[in-house]
Amino acid sequence: MKRRQFLQAAGLAAAATAVAKPAIAQSMPELKWRLTSSFPKSLDTIYGAAEVFAKAVAEATDNKFQIQVFAAGEIVPGLAAADAVQNGTVEMCHTASYYYFGKDPTFAFGTAVPFGMNARQENAWMYFGGGMELMNDFYKKFNFIAFPAGNTGCQMGGWFRKEIREVNDLKGLKMRIGGFAGTVLAKLGVVPQQIAGGDIYAALEKGTIDAAEWVGPYDDEKLGFHKIAPNYYYPGWWEGGAMLHNFINIEKWNALPAAYKSLVRTASSAANEWMLAKYDAVNPAALTRLLRAGTQLRPFSAPIMDACLKAALEVYGEVSKTNADFKKVWDAVLAFRNDEYLWWRVAEYTYDDFLIRNRTKT
């Protein structure tokens, strides 16, 4: 090759490299975000899902996109996480949508509503039933977009100092319970209290509240509720599958490269799967330990469950009359849930029911 041809070829190669590098750099910029959790670090599963998410993002980008996770209270209180995203204090948060029920009851559908769907049905609704689109159409009014990032599965009905034998036993009961469920139980005489997870034990210990619900055996054992309120009721009919979300400031989201947007969605799904699997794995042993420690496991009676369902349907009707967003989402949830149970009763439920009754034989 002649010297002039060589230099021309080298020049073209250098020019091509000069064009390619900025293009790669633009698609993988170095970013540092902050994520505030609504949960304390001691609750390693519900808090840990945010760390799983952040780690997945960092590893996939060779640490170019770093998301630092902060526990509740380190930047803002746990129940103010969405506000911090809305006003741009942080880029994102990991939280339970129903904590912001006071802003608008429609927020409840992002996590769980009384007598709603179980965890698998919620995933089906979010990913394939239009749920994510419906909720994000609502969330944009508050300046954020959201992606499922965890689920506890069906929760327990909570810890009570005294037995709850009949509906009248609920009257005057001061109970830590948030969101929509508190409104439903208020119809039955309960005085609902919204208290962050890390503050529940102190409220029970001081007698500020008479009962409290949180998640299930694994987390409840860590928080020590059994030491104060020995009666452990089930099921948590207000949370058949409590979904967590990543809320992301909409301006920050829109500024992300397409590759990072895709990664955030994928990493959120990984956290969603991880949390539910972890709870399913650790709850059985935790419940066994609680029972050995003297916990009294009790089901809500059929009359109490019936009264709660009646109260819930009344609240749904009342709120739907004055809140178009709420009615739109509730109608969608109800239709999807009912269709799901047509299928569930055929195979899923009958299979589980058979093995539950025969587990000692296999």
pLDDT at 14: 43
**Taking the complete model, does pTM exceed 0.75, yes or no?**
yes
Q: pLDDT, tens digit, for every residue of 164-204? A: 999 999 999 999 997 789 999 999 999 999 888 888 999 99
pLDDT at 73: 96
pLDDT at 146: 98
Tokens for 41?
């670090």
Which among 165, 152, 301, 286 has a CA at the least distance from the CA of 226? Answer: 286
pLDDT at 360: 87
d(CA 344, CA 351): 10
d(CA 149, CA 37): 12
Angle, to 10 degrees, between the axis of helix 131-139 and the axis of helix 324-344?
160
CB 110 within 8 A of CB 243: yes
CB 158 within 8 A of CB 233: yes
Query: What are the 10-residue block averages of pLDDT along the chain, 362 residues in total?
Result: 47 43 64 97 96 98 98 96 98 97 96 97 98 98 98 98 97 91 96 89 95 96 96 97 98 97 98 98 98 98 98 97 98 97 95 94 76
Side-by-side strand order, sheet with 65-70: 65-70, 31-37, 92-95, 243-249, 144-151
CB 50 within 8 A of CB 35: yes
Residue position matching structure tokens 């750099």: 25
Q: What does each C-alpha distance from 117 to 62, 134, 308, 319, 358 come to in angstroms?
A: 38, 16, 16, 19, 26
d(CA 208, CA 211): 9
pLDDT at 6: 43
pLDDT at 314: 97
Indicate the burial class of 21 (C-beta count within 10 angstroms; 0-12, 13-18, 19 or more): exposed
3-state SS, one letter per residue, for the chain: CCHHHHHHHHHHHHHHHHHHHHHHHHHCCCEEEEEEECCCCCCCCCCHHHHHHHHHHHHHCCCCEEEEEECCCCCCCHHHHHHHHHCCCCCEEEECHHHHCCCCHHHHHHCCCCCCCCHHHHHHHHHHCCHHHHHHHHHHHHCEEEEEEEECCCCCCEEECCCCCCHHHHCCCEEECCHHHHHHHHCCCCEEECCCHHHHHHHHHHCCCCEECCCCHHHHHHHCHHHCCCEEEECCCCCCCCEEEEEEEHHHHHHCCHHHHHHHHHHHHHHHHHHHHHHHHHHHHHHHHHHHCCCEEEECCHHHHHHHHHHHHHHHHHHHHHCHHHHHHHHHHHHHHHHHHHHHCCCHHHHHHHHHHHHHHC
> How many CB atoms sit inside 10 A of residue 340's CB?
19
Tokens for 48?
């840990």
pLDDT at 198: 82
d(CA 169, CA 12): 83
Tokens for 278?
């972890």
Which among 130, 121, 77 has a CA at the least distance from the CA of 328? Answer: 130
pLDDT at 16: 42
